[in-house]
Structure 1
Amino acid sequence: MPKKTLKRLMPDPGTIKNNKYLGLLGSRLHDNNLWYLNRHSAAGAFAVGLFCTWMPIPFQMVLAALLAMTFRVNLPLSAVLVWLSNPLTMPPMFYFAYRLGSFLLDRPHHYKHFELSLSGLSSAMSSAAPPFLLGCLVMAIVCSATGFMVIHGLWRWTVSRRWKRRRRIP
Protein backbone atom coordinates (compact mmCIF):
# COMPACT_ATOMS: atom_id res chain seq x y z
CA MET A 1 0.00 0.00 0.00
CA PRO A 2 1.52 3.37 -0.97
CA LYS A 3 2.66 5.80 1.69
CA LYS A 4 0.14 8.48 0.61
CA THR A 5 -2.77 6.06 1.00
CA LEU A 6 -1.60 4.99 4.45
CA LYS A 7 -1.21 8.61 5.56
CA ARG A 8 -4.69 9.47 4.32
CA LEU A 9 -6.25 6.54 6.20
CA MET A 10 -4.47 7.19 9.50
CA PRO A 11 -6.13 9.43 12.09
CA ASP A 12 -4.81 12.90 12.82
CA PRO A 13 -2.18 12.75 15.62
CA GLY A 14 -3.47 16.01 17.13
CA THR A 15 -6.95 14.54 17.64
CA ILE A 16 -5.57 11.50 19.40
CA LYS A 17 -3.08 13.46 21.49
CA ASN A 18 -5.86 15.75 22.77
CA ASN A 19 -8.28 12.93 23.64
CA LYS A 20 -9.16 13.18 27.33
CA TYR A 21 -9.31 9.40 27.79
CA LEU A 22 -5.79 8.95 26.48
CA GLY A 23 -4.36 11.52 28.89
CA LEU A 24 -3.28 8.67 31.16
CA LEU A 25 -0.48 7.89 28.74
CA GLY A 26 0.97 11.36 29.23
CA SER A 27 3.88 12.51 27.15
CA ARG A 28 4.61 9.06 25.73
CA LEU A 29 1.77 9.62 23.29
CA HIS A 30 3.46 12.78 21.99
CA ASP A 31 6.47 10.89 20.62
CA ASN A 32 6.67 11.74 16.91
CA ASN A 33 7.95 8.27 16.04
CA LEU A 34 4.51 6.87 16.90
CA TRP A 35 2.93 8.92 14.12
CA TYR A 36 5.69 9.13 11.52
CA LEU A 37 5.56 6.70 8.62
CA ASN A 38 8.85 5.44 7.25
CA ARG A 39 10.32 2.06 6.37
CA HIS A 40 11.31 1.16 9.92
CA SER A 41 8.13 2.37 11.63
CA ALA A 42 5.86 0.67 9.08
CA ALA A 43 7.76 -2.63 9.21
CA GLY A 44 7.82 -2.50 13.02
CA ALA A 45 4.11 -1.70 13.11
CA PHE A 46 3.39 -4.72 10.93
CA ALA A 47 5.49 -6.89 13.24
CA VAL A 48 3.66 -5.61 16.35
CA GLY A 49 0.21 -5.78 14.73
CA LEU A 50 0.66 -9.28 13.34
CA PHE A 51 2.08 -10.52 16.63
CA CYS A 52 -0.92 -9.19 18.56
CA THR A 53 -3.31 -10.63 15.96
CA TRP A 54 -2.43 -14.15 17.11
CA MET A 55 -2.80 -13.43 20.83
CA PRO A 56 -5.96 -15.12 22.14
CA ILE A 57 -6.80 -12.29 24.54
CA PRO A 58 -9.45 -9.59 24.65
CA PHE A 59 -8.44 -6.00 23.87
CA GLN A 60 -5.71 -6.92 21.40
CA MET A 61 -5.64 -3.31 20.18
CA VAL A 62 -4.58 -2.09 23.63
CA LEU A 63 -1.70 -4.56 23.66
CA ALA A 64 -0.73 -3.50 20.13
CA ALA A 65 -0.78 0.18 21.13
CA LEU A 66 1.34 -0.47 24.23
CA LEU A 67 3.86 -2.50 22.23
CA ALA A 68 3.95 0.18 19.53
CA MET A 69 4.74 2.77 22.19
CA THR A 70 7.39 0.50 23.70
CA PHE A 71 9.13 -0.17 20.39
CA ARG A 72 8.41 3.34 19.04
CA VAL A 73 6.76 2.20 15.81
CA ASN A 74 3.69 3.56 14.02
CA LEU A 75 0.85 3.28 16.53
CA PRO A 76 -2.23 3.61 14.26
CA LEU A 77 -0.93 1.05 11.80
CA SER A 78 -0.11 -1.49 14.48
CA ALA A 79 -3.51 -1.05 16.14
CA VAL A 80 -5.41 -1.38 12.86
CA LEU A 81 -3.57 -4.55 11.84
CA VAL A 82 -4.99 -6.34 14.89
CA TRP A 83 -8.33 -6.37 13.09
CA LEU A 84 -7.03 -9.12 10.83
CA SER A 85 -8.34 -11.34 13.59
CA ASN A 86 -12.02 -10.56 13.67
CA PRO A 87 -15.05 -12.71 14.50
CA LEU A 88 -14.98 -14.22 11.00
CA THR A 89 -11.28 -15.05 10.87
CA MET A 90 -10.67 -16.08 14.49
CA PRO A 91 -12.17 -19.59 14.33
CA PRO A 92 -10.03 -20.78 11.39
CA MET A 93 -6.94 -18.98 12.72
CA PHE A 94 -7.23 -20.42 16.19
CA TYR A 95 -8.14 -23.88 14.89
CA PHE A 96 -5.00 -23.81 12.74
CA ALA A 97 -2.99 -22.67 15.77
CA TYR A 98 -4.42 -25.53 17.81
CA ARG A 99 -3.60 -28.06 15.09
CA LEU A 100 -0.07 -26.67 14.76
CA GLY A 101 0.45 -26.85 18.53
CA SER A 102 -0.87 -30.41 18.58
CA PHE A 103 1.54 -31.34 15.82
CA LEU A 104 4.49 -29.69 17.58
CA LEU A 105 3.66 -31.38 20.90
CA ASP A 106 2.87 -34.67 19.15
CA ARG A 107 -0.59 -34.91 20.70
CA PRO A 108 -3.82 -36.11 19.15
CA HIS A 109 -5.97 -33.25 17.93
CA HIS A 110 -9.44 -34.65 18.43
CA TYR A 111 -11.65 -35.70 21.30
CA LYS A 112 -13.41 -39.01 21.21
CA HIS A 113 -15.57 -38.56 24.31
CA PHE A 114 -16.67 -34.98 24.78
CA GLU A 115 -19.59 -34.40 27.09
CA LEU A 116 -21.44 -31.12 27.23
CA SER A 117 -21.03 -30.31 30.90
CA LEU A 118 -18.87 -28.09 33.04
CA SER A 119 -16.54 -30.96 33.93
CA GLY A 120 -16.33 -32.10 30.29
CA LEU A 121 -15.56 -28.59 29.12
CA SER A 122 -12.97 -28.15 31.87
CA SER A 123 -11.16 -31.38 30.96
CA ALA A 124 -11.25 -30.55 27.25
CA MET A 125 -9.82 -27.07 27.88
CA SER A 126 -7.09 -28.35 30.18
CA SER A 127 -5.86 -30.74 27.51
CA ALA A 128 -6.40 -28.31 24.59
CA ALA A 129 -4.82 -25.21 26.16
CA PRO A 130 -1.11 -26.14 25.85
CA PRO A 131 -1.22 -26.99 22.12
CA PHE A 132 -3.47 -24.01 21.39
CA LEU A 133 -1.24 -21.52 23.21
CA LEU A 134 1.93 -22.97 21.69
CA GLY A 135 0.40 -22.78 18.21
CA CYS A 136 -0.65 -19.17 18.79
CA LEU A 137 2.84 -18.23 20.00
CA VAL A 138 4.56 -19.92 17.05
CA MET A 139 2.20 -18.30 14.54
CA ALA A 140 2.62 -14.90 16.22
CA ILE A 141 6.41 -15.10 15.95
CA VAL A 142 6.39 -16.42 12.37
CA CYS A 143 3.82 -13.89 11.11
CA SER A 144 5.50 -11.04 12.94
CA ALA A 145 8.94 -11.81 11.50
CA THR A 146 7.54 -12.44 8.03
CA GLY A 147 5.50 -9.24 8.07
CA PHE A 148 8.52 -7.22 9.18
CA MET A 149 10.75 -8.62 6.44
CA VAL A 150 8.12 -8.34 3.69
CA ILE A 151 7.22 -4.73 4.46
CA HIS A 152 10.86 -3.76 4.88
CA GLY A 153 11.71 -5.39 1.54
CA LEU A 154 8.70 -3.95 -0.30
CA TRP A 155 9.50 -0.48 0.97
CA ARG A 156 13.13 -0.73 -0.19
CA TRP A 157 12.06 -2.14 -3.55
CA THR A 158 9.55 0.67 -4.09
CA VAL A 159 12.09 3.36 -3.21
CA SER A 160 14.78 1.86 -5.46
CA ARG A 161 12.28 1.59 -8.32
CA ARG A 162 11.38 5.26 -7.94
CA TRP A 163 15.06 6.22 -7.95
CA LYS A 164 15.64 4.22 -11.14
CA ARG A 165 12.67 5.95 -12.80
CA ARG A 166 14.04 9.35 -11.80
CA ARG A 167 17.41 8.54 -13.37
CA ARG A 168 15.76 7.60 -16.67
CA ILE A 169 13.72 10.80 -16.95
CA PRO A 170 15.86 13.60 -18.47
Structure 2
Amino acid sequence: MYSSLKKTMPTRESLAQHPWLRPVAHHLLNPQLWRLQRESVARGVAIGTFWAFVIPLGQTFVAAAHCTWWRGNIPAAAIMTMLTNPLTFGFWLWLAYPVGNMVLGMPVPAQALPDTDWAHSLQEVGGPVLLGMGIFGLGGAALGYLLVKLSWRLRVALRRHQSNSGV
Protein backbone atom coordinates (compact mmCIF):
# COMPACT_ATOMS: atom_id res chain seq x y z
CA MET A 1 0.00 0.00 0.00
CA TYR A 2 2.85 2.37 0.85
CA SER A 3 4.47 1.95 -2.57
CA SER A 4 1.23 2.62 -4.46
CA LEU A 5 0.51 5.64 -2.27
CA LYS A 6 4.05 6.93 -2.80
CA LYS A 7 3.60 6.67 -6.59
CA THR A 8 0.44 8.82 -6.51
CA MET A 9 1.80 11.44 -4.12
CA PRO A 10 3.29 14.55 -5.69
CA THR A 11 7.00 15.11 -5.17
CA ARG A 12 8.53 18.27 -3.77
CA GLU A 13 9.81 19.20 -7.19
CA SER A 14 6.49 18.64 -9.00
CA LEU A 15 4.65 20.76 -6.44
CA ALA A 16 7.25 23.51 -6.67
CA GLN A 17 6.75 23.69 -10.45
CA HIS A 18 2.94 23.93 -10.31
CA PRO A 19 1.66 27.36 -11.46
CA TRP A 20 -0.67 27.82 -8.44
CA LEU A 21 2.19 27.20 -6.04
CA ARG A 22 4.85 29.38 -7.65
CA PRO A 23 4.52 32.14 -5.01
CA VAL A 24 5.53 29.66 -2.29
CA ALA A 25 7.64 27.30 -4.42
CA HIS A 26 10.91 28.21 -2.71
CA HIS A 27 9.33 27.22 0.62
CA LEU A 28 8.11 23.85 -0.71
CA LEU A 29 11.63 22.54 -1.00
CA ASN A 30 12.23 22.94 2.74
CA PRO A 31 13.00 19.43 4.07
CA GLN A 32 11.18 20.21 7.36
CA LEU A 33 7.87 20.15 5.46
CA TRP A 34 8.48 16.56 4.32
CA ARG A 35 9.81 14.90 7.50
CA LEU A 36 7.71 12.72 9.76
CA GLN A 37 7.74 14.72 12.98
CA ARG A 38 4.88 14.68 15.47
CA GLU A 39 3.93 18.36 15.36
CA SER A 40 4.48 18.69 11.63
CA VAL A 41 2.33 15.66 10.82
CA ALA A 42 -0.43 16.81 13.19
CA ARG A 43 -0.48 20.22 11.52
CA GLY A 44 -0.49 18.64 8.07
CA VAL A 45 -3.43 16.41 8.96
CA ALA A 46 -5.36 19.39 10.33
CA ILE A 47 -4.61 21.58 7.31
CA GLY A 48 -5.46 18.87 4.79
CA THR A 49 -8.69 17.93 6.56
CA PHE A 50 -9.82 21.54 6.77
CA TRP A 51 -9.24 22.26 3.08
CA ALA A 52 -10.75 18.93 2.03
CA PHE A 53 -14.12 20.14 3.29
CA VAL A 54 -13.91 23.86 2.62
CA ILE A 55 -13.20 23.89 -1.11
CA PRO A 56 -14.24 21.30 -3.70
CA LEU A 57 -11.31 21.62 -6.14
CA GLY A 58 -7.59 22.19 -5.77
CA GLN A 59 -7.48 21.26 -2.08
CA THR A 60 -4.06 19.61 -2.34
CA PHE A 61 -2.43 22.73 -3.75
CA VAL A 62 -4.06 25.06 -1.25
CA ALA A 63 -3.15 22.71 1.61
CA ALA A 64 0.47 22.50 0.40
CA ALA A 65 0.68 26.29 0.26
CA HIS A 66 -0.71 26.61 3.77
CA CYS A 67 1.67 23.94 5.05
CA THR A 68 4.54 26.22 4.08
CA TRP A 69 3.18 29.00 6.28
CA TRP A 70 2.14 26.82 9.22
CA ARG A 71 5.05 24.34 8.92
CA GLY A 72 2.80 21.34 8.35
CA ASN A 73 3.79 18.05 6.75
CA ILE A 74 2.86 18.33 3.08
CA PRO A 75 2.39 14.58 2.38
CA ALA A 76 0.07 14.26 5.40
CA ALA A 77 -1.95 17.25 4.21
CA ALA A 78 -2.15 15.88 0.66
CA ILE A 79 -3.38 12.51 1.91
CA MET A 80 -6.03 14.11 4.10
CA THR A 81 -7.40 16.19 1.22
CA MET A 82 -8.42 12.87 -0.34
CA LEU A 83 -11.19 12.56 2.27
CA THR A 84 -13.37 14.42 -0.17
CA ASN A 85 -12.92 13.33 -3.73
CA PRO A 86 -15.27 13.27 -6.71
CA LEU A 87 -16.72 9.94 -5.52
CA THR A 88 -17.39 11.04 -1.93
CA PHE A 89 -18.04 14.77 -2.26
CA GLY A 90 -21.75 14.28 -2.95
CA PHE A 91 -22.11 12.25 0.23
CA TRP A 92 -20.43 14.96 2.29
CA LEU A 93 -22.67 17.64 0.76
CA TRP A 94 -25.73 15.50 1.46
CA LEU A 95 -24.60 15.04 5.07
CA ALA A 96 -23.69 18.73 5.51
CA TYR A 97 -27.23 19.86 4.68
CA PRO A 98 -28.99 18.36 7.73
CA VAL A 99 -26.05 19.31 9.98
CA GLY A 100 -26.25 22.92 8.80
CA ASN A 101 -30.02 22.95 9.23
CA MET A 102 -29.72 21.55 12.74
CA VAL A 103 -27.20 24.23 13.77
CA LEU A 104 -29.36 26.96 12.24
CA GLY A 105 -32.40 25.56 14.07
CA MET A 106 -34.27 24.94 10.84
CA PRO A 107 -36.21 21.75 10.22
CA VAL A 108 -34.86 19.41 7.58
CA PRO A 109 -37.48 19.09 4.83
CA ALA A 110 -38.95 15.59 4.61
CA GLN A 111 -39.39 15.86 0.86
CA ALA A 112 -37.25 17.02 -2.01
CA LEU A 113 -37.09 20.68 -2.88
CA PRO A 114 -40.05 21.97 -4.86
CA ASP A 115 -39.58 21.98 -8.60
CA THR A 116 -38.46 25.60 -8.97
CA ASP A 117 -35.61 27.16 -10.81
CA TRP A 118 -32.14 25.95 -9.81
CA ALA A 119 -31.02 29.35 -8.46
CA HIS A 120 -33.85 29.38 -5.92
CA SER A 121 -33.09 25.79 -4.90
CA LEU A 122 -29.41 26.63 -4.51
CA GLN A 123 -30.27 29.60 -2.27
CA GLU A 124 -32.42 27.37 -0.11
CA VAL A 125 -29.76 24.71 0.51
CA GLY A 126 -26.60 26.79 0.09
CA GLY A 127 -26.42 28.30 3.57
CA PRO A 128 -26.95 25.07 5.51
CA VAL A 129 -24.56 23.14 3.23
CA LEU A 130 -21.80 25.74 3.56
CA LEU A 131 -22.25 25.85 7.32
CA GLY A 132 -22.21 22.05 7.54
CA MET A 133 -19.06 21.77 5.43
CA GLY A 134 -17.41 24.46 7.56
CA ILE A 135 -18.28 22.48 10.68
CA PHE A 136 -16.85 19.32 9.12
CA GLY A 137 -13.70 21.22 8.15
CA LEU A 138 -13.07 22.80 11.54
CA GLY A 139 -14.20 19.78 13.55
CA GLY A 140 -12.27 17.35 11.37
CA ALA A 141 -9.13 19.48 11.55
CA ALA A 142 -9.28 19.67 15.35
CA LEU A 143 -10.08 15.97 15.69
CA GLY A 144 -7.33 14.97 13.24
CA TYR A 145 -4.76 17.11 15.04
CA LEU A 146 -5.66 15.64 18.42
CA LEU A 147 -5.76 12.05 17.13
CA VAL A 148 -2.30 12.34 15.57
CA LYS A 149 -0.87 13.79 18.78
CA LEU A 150 -2.55 11.11 20.91
CA SER A 151 -1.62 8.17 18.66
CA TRP A 152 1.98 9.39 18.39
CA ARG A 153 2.22 9.67 22.18
CA LEU A 154 0.71 6.20 22.64
CA ARG A 155 3.08 4.72 20.08
CA VAL A 156 6.12 6.21 21.85
CA ALA A 157 4.85 5.06 25.26
CA LEU A 158 4.27 1.54 23.92
CA ARG A 159 7.77 1.40 22.44
CA ARG A 160 9.29 2.60 25.71
CA HIS A 161 7.33 0.04 27.66
CA GLN A 162 8.44 -2.75 25.33
CA SER A 163 12.09 -1.70 25.52
CA ASN A 164 11.96 -1.45 29.32
CA SER A 165 10.32 -4.85 29.73
CA GLY A 166 12.90 -6.52 27.48
CA VAL A 167 10.39 -7.74 24.90
Q: Which 4+ residue blocks in structure 1 deviate beyond 4 angstroms?
A: 10-13
Task: Give the letter for the 1:104 counterpart.
Answer: V
TM-score by length of 2: 0.83
Work out whether 1:130 is the aligned partner of 2:137. Answer: no
Is the CA contact 1:43–1:151 (under 8 Å) kept in the aligned structure 2? yes
Deviations 1:90-147 (A, max 9, x none): 11211111110011112233345223xxxx1000111211111111111111111011
Q: Distance in 1 between matches of 2:137 and 2:16?
A: 32
Q: Unpaired segments of 5 or more residues in structure 1?
A: none
Q: Tell me the residue number matched to 2:63.
A: 64
Q: Tell me the residue number matched to 1:84.
A: 83
Is the CA contact 1:10–1:76 (under 8 Å) kept in the aligned structure 2? no
Measured on the aligned residues, the alpha-carbon RMSD in Å equals 2.6
Task: Give the letter for the 2:12 counterpart.
Answer: I
Percentage of matched positions with identical amino acids: 24
Is the CA contact 1:10–1:77 (under 8 Å) kept in the aligned structure 2? no
Pairwise mapping of residues 7-26 of structure 1 onto structure 2 (< 5 A)?
9=6, 16-17=12-13, 21-22=17-18, 24=22, 25-26=24-25
> For 2:156, which of 149, 154, 159 is the aligned residue?
159
Aligned length: 160
Q: Distance in 1 between matches of 2:163 and 2:15?
A: 42
